[in-house]
Copies of this chain bind each other. A is one copy, B any other.
Amino acid sequence: MTLFRLDASIRVDGSHSREIADIVEREWLGAYPGNPVIHRHLAVDPIPAGAWATAVGASPVPADQRSPEQLAATELAAQAVDQLVEADALLFAVPLYNFGVSQHFKTWVDLVITDPRMAAGVESAIAGKPAVLVTVRGGSYAAGTPREGWDHATGWMRRILADVWQLDLRVVETEFTLVGVNPALDQFKALAADLRREAEEEARAHGRSLTSAVPAARGTIAA
A-side residues, CB < 8 A to B, are 10, 43, 46-50, 52-53, 56-57, 97-101, 103-104, 106-107, 109-110, 113, 150, 152-153, 155-156, 159-160, 164
- Residues of B with C-beta under 8 A to A155: 152
- Cβ A159 vs Cβ B99 within 8 A: yes
- Residues of B with C-beta under 8 A to A156: 99-101, 152-153
| CB nearest to A51 among chain B residues | B49
A168 to chain B, nearest CB (A): 20
**Contact sample, A vs B, 27 pairs, CB 8 Å cutoff:** A10-B56, A43-B53, A46-B53, A48-B49, A49-B104, A49-B107, A52-B103, A98-B109, A98-B110, A98-B164, A99-B156, A99-B159, A99-B160, A99-B164, A100-B101, A100-B106, A100-B156, A100-B160, A101-B101, A101-B106, A101-B156, A103-B106, A103-B107, A107-B107, A152-B152, A152-B156, A153-B156
Of the candidates B53, B100, B109, the one whose C-beta lies within 8 Å of that of A10 is B53
Cα–Cα distance between A156 and B102 once the two chains are bound (Å): 13
- Residues of B with C-beta under 8 A to A48: 49
- Cβ A49 vs Cβ B52 within 8 A: no
A99 to chain B, nearest CB (A): 6
